[in-house]
Structure 1
Amino acid sequence: MKKYFLTGLIWLTVNVSTQAQNGNYAMGARSAAIGGTSITLGDEWALFNNVGGLAHFQEKAIFTSFKNKYGISEFTSLALGGTYPILGGTAGMGMFRFGDDLYNEQRLNLGFSNQLGIVSLGLNVSYYQLNIEGAGSRKTIMIDFGGRAELTEQLYFGAHVSNLNQAKLSTLTDERIPTIMKTGLSYRPSRDLMLNAEVEKEVDQDAVVRLGLEYKILENLSLRTGFKTKPFESSFGIGFYPGKLKADYSYNNNPDLGGIHEISIGYIFSD
């Protein structure tokens, strides 16, 4: 009983401070290291962050990520995904889990993205399940839609809506999973440097501004940094891509709650 009470108290405190996990399912240490500015990235983690960018990752790959918030085991996120080029675009399948046995959120998502001129568009359909000890489980379907446009060789634009269909968790209380809208720009003056700016808005919440920088110091080694507002968090990280293997690490610091560590590993299958 004591464990249940303490876990519940910690969960309530952190959720109030971080606007809850519910509704935000971005993953990948690369994007986390650059302040979460993932809206214009065309990598494998676009499957979780902006499915519109997935068309730019024309690879067969598997990838996974582990994220822990504030050193508390109950606030751990795990993700696993795979991509496959098909029908002129890229399809992906991903799985996500956050929480422990007392409270957890799970998603199984299928996404597809295709390139149409300078624009790539994508759709993600997810089966979502929320489990709360003593309160049962709730299940629903979520739909995400996103896009990315190459305005010039150096300038990219991205936009994404998570939970476009405003999925309900309860028909009695009309409780819904938050709908989150993101838009942003990426300036890439050279192949080694990327500067990102992004705005995130949830209904009935203040807008969040994110800024990020990535610099490739060697062909297979990148350094990253960034920050976001509301609540303020600074971040940094590193990416190392030796051959077919991809490895990324990020650390985000919340001055009030502590650190967030994330590590991502991926493998690309060559034909």
Structure 2
Amino acid sequence: MIRLLAFGLFCLIIDLSAHAQNGNYGMGARSAAIGGSSITIGDEWSLFNNIGGLANFDKKAIFTSFKNKYGISEVTSLALGATYPIAGGTAGLGVFKFGDDLYNEQRVNLGFSNQFGIVSLGLNVSYYQLSIEGSGSRKTMMIDFGGRAKLTDQLYFGAHVSNLNQAKLSTVTDERISTIMKTGLSYRPSLDLMINAEVEKIVDQDAVLKIGLEYQILEQLSLRTGFHTHPFESSFGLGFRPGKLKADYAYNNNPDLGGIHEISLGYSFGE
């Protein structure tokens, strides 16, 4: 009982600090290290961050990520994914879980993205389940839509809407999963430097500004940093690319609640 009360109090603090997991299922240490400003990035983690960018990752791959918030096991996140080039685009299957036996959110998403000239567009369909000990579980379907455009050789644009269909968790209370809208730009003056700016908006909440920078200091090593507002969190991390293997680490610091660690691994098959 004490454990349940303590966890409930912590969840309340997290919610008041705008850290509620419900509606926000972005993952990947690369994204976390640049303050979450990944809307214009076309890699395997586009399956979770902006399905419109997945067409720019035309490889068979498997990948996973583990995130721990503030050193508390009850608020960990785990994601698994796989991509496969098909029908002129790229398809992806992802699994996400947050929480423990007392409270957890699970999501399975199937996405596809295709390239149309300078624009790539994608659609994600997800099965979502929320489980709370003593209150049962709730299930629903979610739809995400996103796009990415290469405006020039140095400038990229991205936009994404998560839970486009405003999925309901309860028909009695009309409780819904948050709908999140994101848009941003990326400036890449050279092959080894990327500067991102992004705005995220949830209805009835303040807009969040995200700024990130990635610098490839060696062929296989990248350094990253960034921040986002509401609440303010600074971040840094690094990425290592030895051949077909990818390894990324990110650390986010919340001045009030502490640190968030995330580690991601991935492997690409074929050339």
The answer to whether TM tops 0.5 is yes
Matched with 2:127 is: 127
Higher mean displacement: 4-13 or 244-253? 4-13
Aligned to 2:5: 5
Which residue of the partner structure matches residue 191 of structure 2? 191
Match of 2:29 in 1: 29
Shift of 1:93: 0.0
| Structure 1 unaligned residues grouped into runs of 5+ | none
Task: State the partner residue of 1:204.
Answer: 204
Per-residue displacement from partner, 1:106-158 (whole Å, max 9, x unpaired)? Answer: 00000000000000000000000000000010000000000000000000000
Supply the distance in 2 between the matched residues of 1:181 and 1:216 (Cα, whole angstroms): 29
Give the AA of the match of 2:114.
N
Q: Aligned runs of 1:1-271 on 2, under 5 Å?
A: 1-270=1-270
How far apart in 1 are the matches of 2:35 and 2:13? 23
Matching residue's letter, 1:129: Q
How far 1:39 sits from its partner (Å)?
0.3
**Which secondary structure state, in structure 2, belongs to the residue aligned with residue 145 of structure 1?**
strand
Moved more, 254-263 or 12-21: 12-21
Give the Cα separation in 1 of the matches to 2:189 and 2:77.
34
Per-residue deviation, 1:6: 1.4
Gaps of 5+ in 2: none
**Comparing 114-123 and 17-26, the one that deviates more:** 17-26
Structure 1 stretches of at least 4 aligned residues deviating more than 4 Å after TM superposition: none
- C-alpha separation in 2, matches of 1:18 and 1:179: 14
Deviation at 1:19, TM superposition (A): 4.0
CA distance in 2: counterparts of 1:19 and 1:250, whole angstroms: 17
Paired with 2:264 and 2:19, the residues of 1 have a C-alpha distance of: 24
Q: Name the aligned partner's letter for residue 212 of structure 2.
A: G
3-state SS, counterpart of residue 206 of structure 1: coil
Q: Secondary structure at the match of 2:74?
A: coil
Q: Secondary structure at the match of 2:185?
A: strand
Deviations 1:240-264 (A, max 9, x none): 0000100000000000000000000
Aligned AA (1:121): L
Question: How well do the aligned residues superpose, as a CA RMSD in angstroms?
Answer: 0.7
Partner of 2:120, secondary structure, is: strand
Identity within the alignment, %: 80
Query: Residues of 2 paired with 1:228 and 1:200: CA distance?
Result: 10
CA distance in 2, matches of 1:156, 1:4: 46
Report the number of matched residues. 271
Structure-1 separation of matches of 2:234 and 2:27: 17
> Aligned AA for 1:67?
K
2: CA distance, partners of 1:185 / 1:75: 31
1:14 is paired with a residue whose SS is: helix
Q: Secondary structure of the equivalent of 1:80? A: strand
Q: CA deviation at 1:15?
A: 2.1
Partner Cα distance (1:265, 1:203) in 2? 33
Shift in Å, 1:18? 2.7
* Partner Cα separation in structure 2 for residue 78 and residue 152 of structure 1: 35
Distance in 2, matches of 1:6 and 1:35, equals 29
1:107 partner letter? R
The alpha carbon displacement at 1:12 in A equals 1.7
Please state how far the C-alpha of 1:266 moved relative to its aligned partner. Answer: 0.2
Compute the TM-score of the two structures, normalised by the length of structure 1.
0.99
SS at match of 1:74: helix
Cα distance between partner residues in 1 of 2:7 and 2:119 = 46
Q: What displacement does 1:58 show?
A: 0.4
